[in-house]
């Protein structure tokens, strides 16, 4: 036991150039200056960068590294890396290993093949990567290759953001600036910086690799495009938190060790609701580092899966009929001296800082609910949101009894009391009395207060956390800015703050909903309250560059109008491309696998009818099955023709919004029709002839 403990502590962060390593390897003065630069959010000066780079290189080479790479997060939502070796040939024909400060802080990858949404013409190829020195460099071992990774932001020749990280970093600055103003106005003069924190719970599926190899749909699209539902799904509720299967537990063990080496604090692991579904949650961290870490989590889950002959599926809805996967983004704000601004304390009604921060979030979520919805828009999430397994597309907030009561008190003038949690008595003398939380949980809410943080539960499992997080940081920065403006000009801060809180409670309280978000009644009630319900990702994405949001993002210097427009284009194009690939894959499988199997089965039935008849028996039953099969084959081929036409039609559309709409309305509908006939065929065609692994095999095969 103690061996294991030691090995974890020895392994944790071993591949990270972290604070301990820096302290060991950098001259004292350089270390101090470097830490100061990071803390103050300044540029790294070149002399300093040279010393830091050299120490990093020595450390990396000792660990077997031959290369370094700038690691960035383009608009594909994935990560990108271009490796350069440290070698620098000498005149004598030998080589030395070099790594300069410039190479550390700046890279110039060709940007022309990354989505830019028109920000850059193809011939304007130059892009720049810049080290985000608040996220430590690390070493990644991929097979035999060992490389020093430098987390970076990525921009165009004209300094426009081409990635997910740049707006995230900008939004952190914006949030910090406005939160510090508010704190100062409320009398706190010590805080100089406020950070956003993120703990991203990651859900995923694991299926055996042998099934994957027979499913072109999973290979090319990440999800099943066909598959009749299994006789048994998740209805026994026997998977969630169930005891771990040995193969899964070994996999999780290896994932954890890989992540710990990278300094990713993988903490929680368990079976999720759907069969073959699991979750991993790390200990939270600063939002930009946590975003980098979530990318490493997704990559590691997939990489280690292969070693165990699994395939890890991160897609939001890989299997119809069982729950899909989300990524719950737990978010809060913390001061540089360690105060969690969303910590209510035992008497939240008289905790002014908490109340102001809480109301700032309430206002932000209510006013910018469409943007939050847009921040989680993706083809995958369209299958998930509102499907009684994830929150609906209506953004509302769960506060629980205690805080809702306080907000109601605020709305009628001021908060005087806080409901207490009390004790839980279990009625067994040997069991302890448990302190009861002041609020219950609500698993159906898109944006739930969970003790001392909010949990944004609409985020899709395959998504980068950067998008939803920079939106959240920015909209809260906006609320805080409005509050700071009021407070700074008032002569009596306490009265002014009370007035602001009452106004927000009255005007924005409509976004609070503690009930069951999955019900039809809530959809109706939300409509009455005027809360938007944007069901499709395409509609959600189209609003991003509306004037109101351009104003918001430019005010806080998070994104310019051109950058917002480009992002809208990129997201709409990505939607269309994804749906077109799905449509073409569905056609390919239907044509080359399902149809031949169905015809083969029909011809077997045809022969059977003949033979039975020849034998002097009545072949009516076999004929009936044959007729049904032939009918479905006709239905299948007709719907395939329609899908083919829809794909051809959509290809000719230039306007990105119109194209995405057509993809949604025609191709998605076309795929559903093809799938309906195919799934019905699956239920009657001989199992030996059916070419695709079934849902039952994939979800329950161990
Ligand atoms: P749940 O019970 O909601 O599934 P988990 O333990 O799986 O909770 O995940 C909760 C996540 O919230 C963890 O990643 C945890 O580190 C994170 N978290 C806790 N406190 C904060 C905070 N102040 N800011 C951001 N994330 C937090
Ligand atoms: Mg969880």
pLDDT band for 418, please (50, 70, 90 cuts): confident
| Pocket of ligand 1 contains residue 197 by CB under 6 Å | yes
Q: Is the CB of 269 under 6 A from ligand 1?
A: no
- CA proximity to 172, closest of 486, 598, 476: 476
Pocket test for ligand 1, best of 175, 198, 199 (most atoms within 8 A of CB): 199
Alpha-carbon gap, residue 221 to 583, rounded angstroms:
10
DSSP 359-410: HHHHHHHHHTHHHHHHTT--HHHHTTTTSSSS--SB--EE-HHHHHHHHHHH
Residue 197's contacts (CB-CB under 8 Å, 6 or more residues apart) are 284, 285, 286, 287, 290, 330, 331, 332, 333, 334, 340, 453
Cα(502)–Cα(508) distance, integer angstroms: 10
Lowest mean pLDDT of 36-45, 542-551, 633-642, name the range. Answer: 36-45
Span from the CA of 399 to the centroid of ligand 1 (angstroms) = 16
Q: Which atom of ligand 1 is nearest to the CA of 200?
A: 14
CATH classification number, 2-163, choose in 3.30.497.10, 3.10.20.70, 3.30.420.40, 3.90.550.10: 3.10.20.70
The tokens of 569 are what?
């284009």
272 Cβ below 6 A of ligand 1: no
Ligand 1 pocket member 332 (CB < 6 A):
yes
What is the share, in percent, of the chain residues with pLDDT greater than 70? 96
Q: What is the mean pLDDT of residues 124-146?
A: 90
In which band, very low, low, confident or very high, does the pLDDT at 435 lie, cut at 50, 70 and 90? low
Q: What is the DSSP letter of 535?
A: -
How many CA atoms, within 13 angstroms, populate the side-chain half-sphere of residue 159?
Answer: 3
| Least-confidence region, from 30-34, 41-45, 613-617 | 41-45
Mean pLDDT lowest among 200-204, 355-359, 649-653 = 649-653
Q: For 384-413, write each residue's pLDDT tens digit.
A: 987 777 888 999 999 998 999 999 999 998
Q: What is the mean pLDDT of residues 236-252?
A: 86
Return the pLDDT at 694.
96
Residue of minimum CA distance from atom 7 in ligand 1: 281
Measured distance CA(218)–CA(197) in Å, rounded: 34
Ligand 1 centroid–CA 280 distance in Å is 11
> Which pLDDT band, with edges at 50, 70 and 90, does 140 fall under?
very high
Cβ 198 vs Cβ 290: under 8 Å: yes
User: In testing the pocket of ligand 1, which one of 277, 330, 354, 450 has its CB within 8 Å of the most ligand atoms?
Assistant: 330
**Nearest 10 degrees: CA dihedral of 584, 222, 299, 152?**
40
- Which residue owns the Cα nearest ligand 1 atom 13? 199
Contact 465, 79 (CB under 8 A): no
84-123 residue pLDDT tens: 999 999 999 999 999 999 999 999 887 778 888 887 665 5
Ligand 1: nearest atom to the Cα of 340: 23
Task: Please compute the mean of the pLDDT values over residues 486-498 and round it to a whole number.
Answer: 95
Phi, psi of 631 (to 5 degrees): -60, -45
Per-residue pLDDT at 151: 95
- DSSP 8-state code for residue 340: B
- Hey, what are 249's tokens? 């537990």
Provide the mean pLDDT of the chain.
93
291-340 confidence digits (pLDDT tens): 999 999 999 999 999 999 999 999 999 999 999 999 999 999 999 999 99
**Confidence check: pLDDT of 249 > 60:** yes
Q: Are strands 138-142 and 145-156 parallel, antiparallel or unpaired?
A: antiparallel
CATH class as words, domain 171-422+432-559: alpha beta
Would the CB of 198 count as within 6 Å of ligand 1?
yes
Determine the pLDDT at residue 428. Answer: 65
Note the helical H segments in 134-286: 165-185, 209-212, 216-221, 246-261
**Which residue do the tokens 């938190």 mark?**
241
Three-class SS of residue 450?
Answer: coil
| 196, 201, 441, best to mutate for ligand 1 pocket (most atoms within 8 Å of CB) | 201
Q: Is 286 in the pocket of ligand 1 (CB under 6 A)?
A: no
Residue 237 has pLDDT above 80, yes or no: no
DSSP H or E stretch at residue 332: strand 327-335
Options 3.50.50.60, 1.20.120.1560, 1.10.10.10, 3.40.50.740; CATH for 575-700 is 1.20.120.1560
CA separation for the pair 357, 479 (Å, rounded)? 9
Shortest-distance Cα residue to atom 5 of ligand 1 = 281
What φ, ψ does residue 410 adopt, rounded to 5°? -60, -40
Does 268 contact ligand 1 (Cβ within 6 A)? Answer: yes
Distance 223 CA to ligand 2 centre (A): 23
* Mean pLDDT in residue range 278-283: 97
Domain ranges, ordered by start, for the chain: 2-163, 171-422+432-559, 575-700
Q: In the beta sheet, which residues pair with residue 18?
A: none
Average pLDDT over residues 208-228: 97
Cβ of 319 closer than 6 Å to ligand 1, yes or no, is no
Alpha-carbon distance 479 to 471, whole Å?
13
Q: How far is the CA of 586 from the centre of ligand 1 (A)?
A: 38
- Give the per-residue pLDDT at 158: 82
Tell me what pLDDT residue 427 has: 64
- Interval 578-593 mean pLDDT: 98
Q: For residue 42, what pLDDT band results from cuts at 50, 70 and 90?
A: confident
Q: How confident is the model at residue 230 (pLDDT cuts 50, 70, 90)?
A: confident
pLDDT the model gives residue 243:
84
Asked if residue 152 has pLDDT above 60, the reply is yes
- Residue 434's pLDDT is 66
Distances (CA, A) of 498 to 67, 130, 361, 669: 57, 44, 16, 52
Task: Report the chain's terminal Cα–Cα distance, integer Å.
Answer: 29
Counts of helices then strands in the chain (DSSP H, E): 25, 19
From the list 414, 412, 417, 403, the residue with the least C-alpha distance to 513 is 403
- The predicted pLDDT at position 57 comes to 96
User: Which range (3-12, 131-140, 449-458) has the least confidence?
Assistant: 3-12
Taking residue 686's Cβ as centre, other Cβ atoms within 10 Å add up to: 11
Residue 199 in contact with ligand 1 by CB distance below 6 A:
yes
Give one DSSP letter per residue of 601-658, joined into a string.
Answer: HHHHHHHHHHHHHHTT---HHHHHHHHHHHHHHHHHHHHHHHHHHHHHHHHT--SHHH
Task: Check pocket membership of 568 for ligand 1, CB cut-off 6 A.
Answer: no
| Residues 512, 525 contacting (CB under 8 angstroms) | no
Question: Which pLDDT value is given to residue 670?
Answer: 97
pLDDT on residue 110: 79
pTM for the model: 0.95
Does the structure show a pLDDT above 70 at 351? yes
Overall average pLDDT of the 681-686 stretch? 96
Average pLDDT, integer, range 593-607: 97
Q: How confident is the model at residue 392, as a pLDDT?
A: 86
CA distance 370 to 378: 14
330 lines ligand 1 (CB under 6 A): yes
> For residues 23 and 52, is the Cβ–Cβ distance under 8 A?
no
**Tokens read off for 95:** 């080589």
C-alpha neighbours within 13 Å on the C-beta side of residue 408: 12
324 vs 204: CA distance, rounded Å: 9
* Nearest bound ligand to the CA of residue 283: 1
CB-CB contact of 459 with 468 (8 Å): yes
* pLDDT attached to residue 436: 65
Distance between Cα 109 and ligand 1 center (Å)? 36
**pLDDT exceeds cutoff 90 at 290:** yes
Regarding beta strands 194-208 and 277-282, do their DSSP bridges make them parallel or antiparallel, or are they unpaired?
A: antiparallel
Q: Comparing 126-135, 147-156, 248-257, which segment has the lowest mean pLDDT?
A: 126-135
Q: Is the CB of 195 under 6 A from ligand 1?
A: no
Vertex 434: Cα angle to 431 and 438 (nearest 5): 160
Arithmetic mean of pLDDT, 644-666 = 95
């Amino acid at each position: 036991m103690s061996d294991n403990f030691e090995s974890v502590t020895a392994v944790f962060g071993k591949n990270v150039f972290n604070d301990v390593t820096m302290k060991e390897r950098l001259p004292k003065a350089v270390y101090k200056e470097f830490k100061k630069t990071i803390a103050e959010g300044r540029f790294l000066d070149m002399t300093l960068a040279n010393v830091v780079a050299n120490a990093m290189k020595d450390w990396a080479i000792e660990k077997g590294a031959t290369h370094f790479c700038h690691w960035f997060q383009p608009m594909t939502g994935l990560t990108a890396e271009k490796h350069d070796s440290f070698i620098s040939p000498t005149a004598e024909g030998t080589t030395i290993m070099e790594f300069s400060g410039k190479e550390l802080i700046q890279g110039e990858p060709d940007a022309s093949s990354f989505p830019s949404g028109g920000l850059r013409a193809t011939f304007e190829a130059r892009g720049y990567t810049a080290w985000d020195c608040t996220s430590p460099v690390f070493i990644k071992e991929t097979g035999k290759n060992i490389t020093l990774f430098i987390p970076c932001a990525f921009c165009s020749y004209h300094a426009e953001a081409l990635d997910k990280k740049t707006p995230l970093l900008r939004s952190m600055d914006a949030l910090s600036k406005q939160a510090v103003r508010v704190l100062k106005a409320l009398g706190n003069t010590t805080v100089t910086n406020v950070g956003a924190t993120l703990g991203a719970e990651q859900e995923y599926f694991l299926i055996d690799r042998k099934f994957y190899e027979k499913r072109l749909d999973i290979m090319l699209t990440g999800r099943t495009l066909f598959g009749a539902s299994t006789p048994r799904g998740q209805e026994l509720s026997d998977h969630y938190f169930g005891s771990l299967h040995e193969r899964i537990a070994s996999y999780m063990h290896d994932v954890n060790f890989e992540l710990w080496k990278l300094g990713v604090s993988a903490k929680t692991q368990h079976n999720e609701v759907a069969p073959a579904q699991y979750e991993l949650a790390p200990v939270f961290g600063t939002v930009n580092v946590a975003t980098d870490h979530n990318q490493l989590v997704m990559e590691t889950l997939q990489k280690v899966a292969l070693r165990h002959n699994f395939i890890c599926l991160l897609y939001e809805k890989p299997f119809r009929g069982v729950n899909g996967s989300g990524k719950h983004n737990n978010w809060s704000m913390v001061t540089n001296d360690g105060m969690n601004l969303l910590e209510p304390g035992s008497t939240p009604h008289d905790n002014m800082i908490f109340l102001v921060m809480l109301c700032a979030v309430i206002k932000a979520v209510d006013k910018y609910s469409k943007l939050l919805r847009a921040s989680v828009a993706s083809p995958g999430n369209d299958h998930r949101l509102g499907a009684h397994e994830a929150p609906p597309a209506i953004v509302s907030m769960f506060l629980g009894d205690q805080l809702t009561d306080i907000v109601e008190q605020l709305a009628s003038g001021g908060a005087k009391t806080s409901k207490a949690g009390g004790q839980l008595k279990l009625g067994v003398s040997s069991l302890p009395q448990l302190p009861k939380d002041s609020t219950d949980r609500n698993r159906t809410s898109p944006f739930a207060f969970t003790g001392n943080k909010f949990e944004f539960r609409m985020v899709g499992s395959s998504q980068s956390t950067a998008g939803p997080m920079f939106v959240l940081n920015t909209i809260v920065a906006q609320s805080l800015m409005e509050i700071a403006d009021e407070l700074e000009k008032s002569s009596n801060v306490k009265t002014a703050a009370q007035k602001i809180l009452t106004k927000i409670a009255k005007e924005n309280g409509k976004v609070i909903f503690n009930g069951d978000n999955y019900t039809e009644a809530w959809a109706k009630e939300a409509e009455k309250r005027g809360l938007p319900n944007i069901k499709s990702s395409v509609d959600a994405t189209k609003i991003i560059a509306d004037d109101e949001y351009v104003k918001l993002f430019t005010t806080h210097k998070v994104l310019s109008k051109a950058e917002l427009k480009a992002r809208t284009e990129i997201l709409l194009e990505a939607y269309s491309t994804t749906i077109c690939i799905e449509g073409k894959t569905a056609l390919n499988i239907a044509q080359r696998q399902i149809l031949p199997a169905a015809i083969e089965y029909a011809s077997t039935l045809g022969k059977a009818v003949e033979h039975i008849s020849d034998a002097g028996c009545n072949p009516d039953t076999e004929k009936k099955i044959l007729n049904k099969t032939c009918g479905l084959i006709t239905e299948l081929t007709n719907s395939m023709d329609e899908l083919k036409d829809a794909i051809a039609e959509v290809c000719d559309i230039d306007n990105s919004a119109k194209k995405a709409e057509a993809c949604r309305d025609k191709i998605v509908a076309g795929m559903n029709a093809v799938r309906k006939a195919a799934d019905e065929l699956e239920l009657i065609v001989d199992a030996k002839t059916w070419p695709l692994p079934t849902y039952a095999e994939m979800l329950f095969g161990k």
